[in-house]
Amino acid sequence: MSDRKAPSEADVARFGKCAGFKISARNQRQVATTLRDLRAGVMKMDALIAEDTVPAVIFDATWED
Amino acid sequence: MASSTELHFLTIAEAARLVKSKRLSPVDLTRAALDRIGALDRRLKAFVTLLDGPAEKSAKAAARNIARGNYLGPLHGIPVAIKDLYDTKGVKTTSCSKVRANYVPTEDATVVRKLKEAGAIILGKVTTHEFAFGFDAPPTRNPWNVEHTPSGSSGGSACALAAGMCYGATGSDTGGSIRAPASVNGVAGLKPTYGRVSKAGVAVLSWSLDHTGPLARSVEDLALILNVIAGPDALDPTTKDVRVPNYVRMLTGDIRGLRIGVPQNYFFTDVQKPVARAVRRAIRTLEGLGGIVSAVRISHLEHMLPSFFSIVIPEAAVYHQKAFRKHPAKYGPDVRALLETGQVYLASTYITAQRNRFAFKAAFREAFKKVDVLVTPSMPVTAPKIGQETYRFGNREEPVFTSSARFCCPFNLAGLPAVSIPCGFSADGLPIGLQIVGKPFDEGTALRVAHAYEKNTEWHKMRPPL
């Protein structure tokens, strides 16, 4: 998916099909823009952090991890 | 607005002293809360399920036990409200959703069990946004102005406290759901460190962001409740076995020499003027009390919100997966749209957000090398009107959802303890909140600063014009 172009409503319907779930027609546009906007925001930050950063898969609030 | 010392507006600490010395019966205290609910809740709509009969029965039992010399501690005989997200044995727990309209748990959530064991009286269940997935708690109203929302998702808890309908309450906080309603209702709310308080028996919004904690009318009351509910729990693998201090003893009133960091970036951008003024004034007060105030910068915060939403949306979608696929129409339209988004969220976006989270945490760790607490506004705004969709900051319009989350959710991502306390009012009489953030598992210092501020100001004594 491009960071700039939102998936189309048809794309979103297909994503739903892949996940075995029907995205309601009235929400397809909103889902598409949310997917695009949030991914773009996340990737902006990703560009700023060190390559070797690991994901906080199981989150632990202590400083040590 | 007027100061008040009526029975229904006693703090837990005040009521507990009277109950312990047998000058006030838990029966009278419970009656005062129930009378207040009877008088106001038709208008404010904070309670989903009222347990008046069981509460009076529990109050009589507490009175008998105290009379026999079996006083359990400061919560004994104190009436509290439970957010409807928390399981309550034998009592309907709906999460304010049609999906769980008839759900009656067979066990109490750990926090509820601990409150009962400490002798607290459960008055009833209070509203949440559906499954805590939003910054509102319909149909609840803000007691300071019923045309405004109480925010959310723990809006019922904060409303009930502000209106004098209970003495303490439970909340949950995934991106600000304790602190935002505390802020806009003029009460105190604490999101403890991730792992400090059990979430067992509380409906999940996001496993890695959810926190449970108390709301109350004073910082001392938050400490009293935290003393009871904190600690590891075998039923919640995310809790940590870290020593639980006596939080009340940490409220010394003395913050001389304590290093108070004020972030220079992010937390004072796009803030309503009365909010910024009130928070700046509060910082000067803390400095006047001997706190050493310094400016800090916390990197990457401007990029934080997309990562926050990229974690909460797919985690919520997974928690609801089975029920949602079976009964999508039972969910409200806003929650349904978010859950549908989560169903098709890219794993790569989620994991990238979790990597970003590590970087945010590192940024806070760096900041906390130089300071003991951070002080920020709890929210950039006061309570929105019912139905309001956006706030305006100059030429920029921002959804209420984002405005409500953006100063609170950094501390959900970092898992840090954060308390919101009242620090002023807007010209139209709406409360403003001050946020004080501590190091991991150092709720005590954050509460100490909040308590020192509270002791030297009157904001927490203001009552809504009901």
On whether the CB atoms of residues B88 and B105 are closer than 8 A, the answer is yes
Determine whether A35 is exposed, middle or buried from the number of CB atoms within 10 Å of its CB (0-12, 13-18, 19+).
Answer: buried
Q: Which two tokens stand for residue B109?
A: 């959530």
Query: Which of B83, B125, B191, B439 is labelled catalytic?
Result: B83
Looking at residue A63, what is its pLDDT? Answer: 55
Contacts of A61 in chain B (CB under 8 A): 193-195, 240, 414-416, 440-441
On whether the CB atoms of residues A1 and A36 are closer than 8 A, the answer is yes
Q: What is the pLDDT of residues B39-57, one digit of tens each?
A: 999 999 999 999 999 999 9
Q: Tell me if A35 and B208 make a contact (CB, 8 A cut-off).
A: no
| Mean pLDDT in residue range B254-258 | 98
Handedness of CA B462, B459, B227, B252 (dihedral sign): negative
B165/chain A closest Cα distance in angstroms = 34
Which of A15, A19, A53 is closest, CB to CB, to B358? A53
Task: Say how far apart CA B158 and CA B164 lie, in whole Å.
Answer: 10
Whether the per-residue pLDDT at B195 is higher than 90: the answer is yes
B278 shares contact with chain A (CB less than 8 Å): no
B309 shares contact with chain A (CB less than 8 Å): yes
SS3 category, B187: coil
What is the per-residue DSSP string for A22-59?
---GGGHHHHHHHHHHHHHHHHHHHTTS-TTPPP-SS-
Contacts of B336 in chain A (CB under 8 A): 24, 27
As a whole number, the mean pLDDT across chain B is 97
Query: Which of B153, B198, B206, B307 is labelled catalytic?
Result: B153
C-alpha distances (whole Å) from A35 to each of A3, A6, A28 are 10, 8, 11
Whether the per-residue pLDDT at B13 is higher than 60: the answer is yes
Which of the four pLDDT bands, split at 50, 70 and 90, describes residue A56? confident
Beta-bridged to residue B80, according to DSSP, are: B122, B168
Which of the four pLDDT bands, split at 50, 70 and 90, describes residue A5? confident
| Mean pLDDT in residue range B127-147 | 98
The yes-or-no answer on residue B461 being catalytic is no
Which of the four pLDDT bands, split at 50, 70 and 90, describes residue A55? confident
State the distance between the two ends of chain A, measured CA to CA, in whole angstroms: 32
Task: Say how far apart CA B424 and CA B312 lie, in whole Å.
Answer: 31
B359 shares contact with chain A (CB less than 8 Å): yes
pTM: 0.96
Q: Tell me if B307 and A63 make a contact (CB, 8 A cut-off).
A: no
The yes-or-no answer on residue B157 being catalytic is no
The yes-or-no answer on residue B177 being catalytic is yes
B262/chain A closest Cα distance in angstroms = 21
Which of B208, B305, B337 is closest, CB to CB, to A41? B305
B195 shares contact with chain A (CB less than 8 Å): yes
Q: Tell me if A30 and B361 make a contact (CB, 8 A cut-off).
A: no
